[in-house]
Amino acid sequence: MREIKPRSPLAFLLIGIAVLYAVILFIAPLVAIIYGAFKDGIDPIIETLTDPSVLHAFEVSLVLALGAVLINTIFGLVTAWVLVRQKFRGRGIFNTLIDIPFVFSPVIAGYAMIVLFGRGGWLAPPIFPIVFALPGILLAKTFVSLPFVAREVQPVLDSISPEPEDAAYTIGASRWATFRRVILPELWTALLYGIVLTFARAVGEFGAVSVVGGNIEGYTETATSFVFRALNDRNSTGAYVVSLILCLVSVLILFLMNLLRRRMVVSRG
Amino acid sequence: MSIEVLHVNKSFDTTPIVRDVSVKIETGELFVLLGASGSGKSTLLRLIAGLIELDSGTILLNDRDVTHLSPQQRGTGFVFQNYSLFRHMTVAQNIEFGLSIRKVKRLEREQRVNELLELIELQGYGNRYPAQLSGGQQQRVALARALAYQPNVLLLDEPFGALDVKIRVQLRQNLRAIQQRLGLTAILVTHDQEEAFDIADRIGIIDQGELLEVGAPDQLYRNPTHRFTATFLGTANLLDARRNGTNVYWGDVKIPAPANTEQFSGKPVEVLARPEEVALSCTRERAPGSIIGQGIVDSIAFAGPVLRVTVCLLSHDRKNLQVLLAPSDVRDQNIEVGQEVWVSLKEYHLLATNAE
């Protein structure tokens, strides 16, 4: 055990700064949102939550975020696998490129998608529209949340000893059976963590989604773009209520992450 | 089930790791591949299991050519140094992994798991996780897992390397008993010569990827053909000499040539004498065997039941010899540090010298 020393004034100052920072940046906004949502009583809340366009916006956010999670889980696993297990030319560059969604402004990413997939774009689809339609939103959400699964799984996969895998092969397990029964169980926690992060990012995205989707009410409008529109329309209760629900989702995700992180520490210790 | 390796070669990048190795292991034999780390012994084992692809050569399991088969198709049992159990599975799930892969029915699996838990003396441990077991217990589970699907051959890669001495000795005797009871053909890789002597039917000495020689433990110890074997197995006193007629000569020393060494006639040889084959005596008359001259006792060290004596020869470039003596010999011959003694060889062997 480390000895606990009496705290110095400097330590008090640093703790104070950290707490103040958290209060101003995280806690105060949360309190403001809760206050805003309830300040006119329960009726406007019920009204907002029964508004078909609000429900539709939530549905678009949720379903397409889950779609992005599905795509990025598969893509992320494959990417992590390739980066860890395959040696090929350009692997280093590929490894760096994975992080592009972290550093790109989502608005620019959305604009690039319009250029690519919009009318007259190089990859404009002939059958159904992507831009200003739901596929575009899925694409945008997928893009901005792309690195999480790959980046969570990659180090764990890298640290797994090759011997249990070799053991499974000698015992007679096929490559697929070995992956499913020997490797995947080792990756579960990291994979879930990556999935949760992916979902959080995909649900919360606004910039790329509003550029590609166009925020068409009752069609491509998502929960976050509803908040934006409600603010413009001076429908502050609607904005507060939807924000509050999104916040609750975030808090839930936060707890889930904390839980998973503890499991990760336990399984690695 | 025999294992036959024919002219097998393997390089990593451009470095040869296994060079033209050929050996046949007979049914029911426990063959120990003995070599220093980096000698290529583990690579050879992995080549046999199919975990690594060979560059050239042939591998036969029970006379069937398996050279180009996958590890799954070869059906060998493999035990790794670090146990490599599936840590998210219980002991029972680990053991029955090979059976569930083969779609064996649940009742039969349970029965087999129980048999194996009994075999490795871990009854009642089926529901534990590997992390709850000691290293020795984990290695026994790894053995049971490799035996569950009744493999053709058992391959063990330094299976006791990570365990402490007492458990190591106990486990290798358990392994030997199980191997003999089940009539398994097995190859065990180790760098521990004591382990090799303890359990091997035959030992193969591997150095820098080459299988130098193969033989029964006592044969390799008493009568090695390679200098490397002589020095790697136990301590070796080596003296440069020449065999002429019926004698071996060096300097003004002449001792009779051992039997069956005619092939060395007229050639430079090395005389090999193990420390326990050298005698030290206070007078010429009392020296047993062939006298090779006088020396001065350099040091005497206690080594349990024996004393380890270093003696410096007065002739032969003042070469040091290692000698093992019983405490009673030391007393009877008045051997003390600094004392002059007669040095004789009770037994000795000849090695071909490569430098001609």
Question: What is the domain-level CATH number for residue A122?
Answer: 1.10.3720.10
Find the helix or strand (DSSP H, E) in which B64 lies.
Answer: strand B64-65
pLDDT tens figures, B7-63 = 999 999 889 999 999 999 999 999 999 999 989 999 999 999 999 999 999 999 999
Are the CB atoms for A34 and A224 separated by under 8 Å? no
Q: What is the Cβ-side half-sphere exposure of residue B284, based on CA atoms within 13 angstroms?
A: 3
Burial class from Cβ neighbours inside 10 Å (0-12, 13-18, 19+) for residue A23 reads exposed
Q: Sort out which chain B residues have CB atoms less than 8 A from A168's CB and list them.
A: 86, 97
Interface contact B72-A166, CB threshold 8 A: no
Which residues on chain B are in Cβ contact (under 8 Å) with A163?
Answer: 80, 82, 84
Q: What is the ipTM of this complex?
A: 0.85
For residue B1, the one-letter residue type is M
Distances (CA, A) of B328 to A42, B87, B321, B337: 103, 55, 20, 16
Would you state the structure tokens that stand for residue B344, as one six-digit string?
């004789």
In a domain, A86, yes or no: yes
What integer pLDDT is reported at residue A267 of this predicted model? 58
Q: Give residues 167 to 226 of A whose Cβ lies within 8 Å of B.
A: 167-174, 177, 181-182, 185-186
Q: Are residues A131 and A88 in the same domain?
A: yes
What is the phi/psi pair of residue A239, to 5°? -60, -45
The phi, psi pair for B280, rounded to 5°, reads: -120, 135
Rounded Cα distance, A9 and A106, in Å? 43
Which residues in chain A have Cβ-Cβ distances shorter than 8 Å to B149? 171-172
Cα separation, B234 vs B226, whole angstroms? 13
Q: What is the torsional sign of CA A204, A208, A212, A214?
A: positive
pLDDT at A9 over 90: no
Residues A96 and A199 in one domain: yes
Residues A12 and A87 in one domain: no
CB contact under 8 A, B102 and A172: yes
Whether residues A63 and A99 fall in one domain: yes
User: Which pLDDT score, from 0 to 100, does residue B356 have?
Assistant: 40
**Structural domain includes residue A225:** yes
Q: How far apart are CA A150 and CA A14, in angstroms?
A: 35
Contact A169 B51 (CB under 8 A): yes
B189-215 pLDDT, tens digit each: 999 999 999 999 999 999 999 999 999
Q: Provide the pLDDT for residue A1.
A: 53
3-state secondary structure of A14: helix
Mean pLDDT for A156-181 is 93
User: Please, are residues A139 and A211 in contact by the beta-carbon 8 Å criterion?
Assistant: no
Residues of A in contact with B97 (CB under 8 A): 168, 171, 173, 181
Q: How many helices (H) and strands (E) does chain B have?
A: 11, 20
Please report the number of interchain residue pairs, chain A to chain B, with beta-carbon separation below 8 angstroms.
Answer: 63
| Among candidates A167, A177, A181 on the partner chain, residue whose Cβ is nearest the Cβ of B84 | A167
Residue A174 lies in a domain: yes
Residue A163 contacts B, CB cutoff 8 Å: yes
Q: Verify that A94 and A48 share a domain, yes or no.
A: yes
Domain-located, residue A1: no
Query: What is the tally of structural domains in chain A?
Result: 2
pLDDT of residue A263 exceeding 80: no
**Residue A118 forms part of a structural domain:** yes
- Shared-domain flag, residues A68 and A176: yes
Q: Are residues A220 and A183 in the same domain?
A: yes
Q: Among A161, A171, A186, whose Cβ lies nearest the Cβ of B101?
A: A171
Rounded to a whole number of angstroms, the distance from the CA of A177 to the nearest CA of chain B is 8
Residue B242 neighbours by CB under 8 Å, 6+ apart: B248, B249, B250, B266, B267, B268, B269
Using an 8 Å CB-CB cutoff, list chain A residues near B75. 172
Query: Between residues 102 and 161 of chain B, which touch chain A (CB distance below 8 Å)?
Result: 102, 142, 145-146, 149, 155
Minimal CA separation from B149 to chain A, in Å = 8
Distance set, CA A236 to CA A11, A150, A227, B130 (Å):
41, 39, 9, 58
What integer is the mean pLDDT of A71-89? 93
Please give the distance of CA A13 from its chain centroid, rounded to a whole number.
34
State residue A2's pLDDT score.
61
**A29 and A51 together in one domain:** no
Does the residue A160 lie in any domain?
yes
User: Shortest CB distance from A169 goes to which of B71, B82, B149?
Assistant: B71
Same domain, A71 and A188: yes
Domain of A29, in residue numbers: 7-39
Structural domain contains residue A91: yes
Which one, of B311, B314, B277, lies nearest residue B294 by Cα?
B314
pLDDT of B150-183, one tens digit each?
Answer: 998 999 999 998 888 889 999 999 999 999 999 9
On whether both A114 and A33 belong to a single domain, the answer is: no
Residue A52 sits in the same domain as residue A88 = yes
Task: pLDDT band for B355, please (50, 70, 90 cuts).
Answer: very low
Task: Please judge whether B98 and A172 are an interchain contact, meaning their C-beta atoms are less than 8 angstroms apart.
Answer: yes
Query: Which two tokens mark A168?
Result: 């499974």
Residue A119 has a pLDDT of 81
Query: If you measure CA to CA, which chain B residue comes closest to A169?
Result: B72
Report CB contact under 8 Å: B78, A161: no
pLDDT (0 to 100) of residue A3: 61
A152 with A112, same domain: the answer is: yes
In-domain check, residue A2: no
What DSSP state is assigned to residue B262?
G
Residues 6+ apart with CB under 8 A from B309: B280, B297, B299, B300, B301, B322, B323, B324, B325, B330, B335
